[in-house]
Amino acid sequence: MTRLSFGLIALVLLTITSLSLPLSADEATTHEDGSVSHQTFRAAIWAPSRDVLPVIRGILFLGNGAGSDSRDSVHNPLLQEWAVQHGFVLVGMRGGNYCDDEHWNDFAPQLKTVIDAIARPELHHAPFLFWGHSNGGQQAYGMARRFPERAIAFIVNKGRGQRKGAGVDPFEVPALWISGIRDQDVRRENVLTMYEDGRANGAPWAFLEENGQGHGMGNSQHLAFAFFEEVLPLRYPLDRNNVPTANSAPTLVTLDQTEGWLVGGGHDDWSTGYMTIGPQAQFNGDPLSMGWVPTERAAILFRASGSYVTMRALQRNRRGKHIHVTGPIGAADRFHDTLAEAVRYEPGQPFTYEFSLERPPEWREIRIYDYDQLIHTIPASGDTSFSIDLMLDPSRPSHAIHAEMELNDGERRTSLVLFARARSPQP
């Protein structure tokens, strides 16, 4: 072998090392910030470095739509920062319906492989949150059935194949069941039927059919992550003695539904423009006729996202809303890379919130909230387009920005929810 050949080999090895690429298909990739990741055909995982996260509390599963792939989502900066904030790792996938043994048995060994590759065996017993859209909702429900004792909460969003298969009914696991009014009937009916069965059996679930929305994500991901923020500390309070280990899972709290809030249960209520919410403890009727969420803050956000009016000119793209959120870019959409960048702000710098008014009735004031905290008011004017620089509190783990318009007759109208957070400081 010539010196040139030896030199080329050395250069290749040096390049591989400098790029922090794995030298073996079974080894994880270590990134410049010390985080690690690994990917197989069916699963991908990302975890912060041990210095950043010495104790892992749980897994955020990111389900994939049918024929699509969520493995790259583990590299989404918004989701990574959220995971670090809460002591979680991210798992993306390229799989089928986990209600079915065939698809679960295809995925499970590869989930084990990526966990083993990053050498965090406690993840085999970790509690989880599961975000899922379309087929991802079927995956979420299937996982909750198989591991209800580890499921903190899950989201079913416009799937069509949720069914009772392996495992048990996860009737103690909080969940949001979401469909789109313009989606295919088979999806709408499946989501509603499964929700109604669970709610009739006392499951702590809420159902929302997004107005003007077909099969797309709509505002659901913003609402879902704000819901996770509310349910996580109640189901899984911070306790260094109650974390997953290589041999055991921590204990999750079964929620007392009498301490939760009820939210409007159907279009007759949602289409009033300001749906009914209230504490279950003060409800005089059958609480199972309404949806359930764990806190007042969650109920307020559910109302903001789900309320609409039936004015024909406001349907489809406006989703029955007089207040149409226009910025940051794609503000009501899924957490794609562009939006993940736009909804993260530098601490100490203003966060620009933009919206327009579409065919508004006469109004006296617009109030902007972060979850349930009033942060800005706008007196009545003839303006129809607004760009507001908000000074948000970066010490809060996240923000759920929404606007309410009070009309001259005292009624109120809502905007969709915008999930945002401060950028994490760079090491």
Q: Which value, in Å, is the radius of gyration of the alpha carbons in the chain?
A: 23
The C-alpha angle 218, 224, 229, rounded to 5 degrees, equals 150
Residue 305's nearest CA partner among 209, 230, 193 is: 209
Task: Give tens-digit pLDDT for 72-124.
Answer: 999 999 999 999 999 999 999 999 999 999 999 999 999 999 999 999 999 99
Tokens of residue 414, six digits: 């809502």
In SS3 terms, 232-255 reads as: HHHHCCCCCCCCCCCCCCCCCCCC
pLDDT at site 15: 39
- As a whole number of angstroms, the distance between CA 177 and CA 160 comes to 12
pLDDT at site 122: 98
pLDDT at site 331: 56
pLDDT at site 426: 59
Task: Give tens-digit pLDDT for 293-323.
Answer: 999 999 999 999 999 999 887 876 668 999 9
- As a whole number of angstroms, the distance between CA 135 and CA 43 comes to 15
How many residues belong to the chain?
427
Residue 287's nearest CA partner among 343, 204, 369 is: 204
- As a whole number of angstroms, the distance between CA 241 and CA 420 comes to 31
pLDDT at site 12: 38
pLDDT at site 10: 42
Tokens of residue 151, six digits: 């499921």
Note down pLDDT in tens along the chain; length 427 residues. Answer: 444 343 433 433 333 333 344 434 578 999 999 999 999 999 999 999 999 999 999 999 999 999 899 999 999 999 999 999 999 999 999 999 999 999 999 999 999 999 999 999 999 999 999 999 999 999 999 999 999 999 999 999 999 999 998 899 999 999 999 999 999 999 999 999 999 999 999 999 999 999 989 998 889 999 999 999 999 999 999 999 999 999 999 999 999 999 999 999 899 999 999 999 999 999 999 999 999 999 999 999 999 999 999 988 787 666 899 999 988 865 556 777 677 778 899 999 999 999 999 999 999 999 999 999 999 999 999 999 999 999 999 999 999 999 999 999 999 999 999 999 999 875 5
- As a whole number of angstroms, the distance between CA 219 and CA 299 comes to 15
Fill in the DSSP letter of residue 418: E
- As a whole number of angstroms, the distance between CA 252 and CA 241 comes to 13
pLDDT at site 351: 94
pLDDT at site 319: 83
Is 182 strand, coil or helix?
coil
Q: Which residues pair with 369 in a beta bridge?
A: 374, 402
Element (H, E) at 45: strand 43-47
Q: Which residues pair with 90 in a beta bridge?
A: 46, 60
pLDDT at site 335: 74
- As a whole number of angstroms, the distance between CA 316 and CA 218 comes to 11
Domains, the chain, ordered by start: 32-248 (3.40.50.1820), 313-427 (2.60.40.10)
